[in-house]
Every structure is written in C-alpha cells, then in structure tokens.
Amino acid sequence: MTTFVDRVELHVAAGSGGHGCASVHREKFKPLGGPDGGNGGRGGDVILVVDQDVTTLLDYHHSPHRKATNGQPGAGDNRSGKDGQDLVLPVPDGTVVMDREGNVLAVMVGQGTTFVAGQGGRGGLGNAALASARRKAPGFALLGVR
C-alpha cells in the first residue's frame, strides 16, 4: 500500500448558483401585493490552500472527485437563498497546479497561499429584483448560473 503520493489528477467542480423565486405577496384584503421573490444563493468555490501539516497528496489519490455545494434557491417574502459552502482543499508546500494540457496555472509556495480552482456560480434574481416602472409585477425569475 502506498503511503506517499506526489502526483494526482484531481477532478473538481464548483457549486451552481440557486434559482431565483417568482412569488406574489398576498394579504387578506390586498388582491395583488406586488412581487416578493428572493434571489438565489451563490455557489461554493473550490479553493486550494497550502498547509504545512500536509506532506502528501494521498487523500486525493483515493478520492479524486470533489465538489463544492450548490447555492439554495430563493423563497417568497424577499428571502434570499443561502450561499453554498466553499470547499477548501489543503495541499503541501510547493504544489504545482496544471490543467489537462500541462499548462502551469499556479505554483503554490508558502503557508496560506491560495488558488481558486473553481469559482461558484451566481444566484438567479427573484422577481422582486426584476420589477421596474414598466413591469410592476414580473411573473418570472432568473435561473442560477452554473
């Protein structure tokens, strides 16, 4: 069984943004209270961080597929969705990050050096954010971006 690995192929995916909400405010004696749909949350990033306690890439050799969490969708009553959790991956000092073609993206030297390997998607806008003087109550919301 191997105890030291210095080269891995890591497959990372950032989180998708949450969808916006299309909602109309309702009260007892108000037939149309206006739009009140909230925005979707931002998707989580994948961040590589140099950690002095890590000396090998063995953990990534056994499980090379990692994914950050998605943003939550918006809700009625102008409630925005929660942002996705960032996925922080500790790597040893001196790690070289390359893409599939072999191009060097980052050389990570020094404690605390960070590199964003995947940026999370934007959350979609709810119908309250899409309201304007011409369109008072839009019946749609925007989807989150991957």
Give the span between the Cα atoms of 140 and 128, in whole angstroms. 10
Give the span between the Cα atoms of 95 and 44, in whole angstroms. 23
User: For residue 39, with 0-12 CB atoms within 10 Å meaning exposed, 13-18 middle and 19 or more buried, which class applies?
Assistant: buried
90 touches 54 (CB < 8 A): yes
Tokens of 93: 């000092």
Q: What's the pLDDT tens digit per position in 9-58?
A: 999 999 999 999 999 988 888 877 889 999 999 999 999 999 999 999 99
Least confident of 21-25, 32-36, 110-114, 130-134: 32-36
Give the span between the Cα atoms of 37 and 4, in whole angstroms. 51
Report residue 71's pLDDT band, with 50, 70 and 90 as the boundaries.
very high
Structural domains for the chain? 14-129 (2.70.210.12)
Name the average pLDDT for the chain.
93
Report residue 115's pLDDT band, with 50, 70 and 90 as the boundaries.
very high
Supply the pTM of this predicted model: 0.86
42 touches 71 (CB < 8 A): yes
Alpha-carbon distance values, 132 to 5, 34, 41, 87, 144 (Å):
57, 11, 22, 37, 21
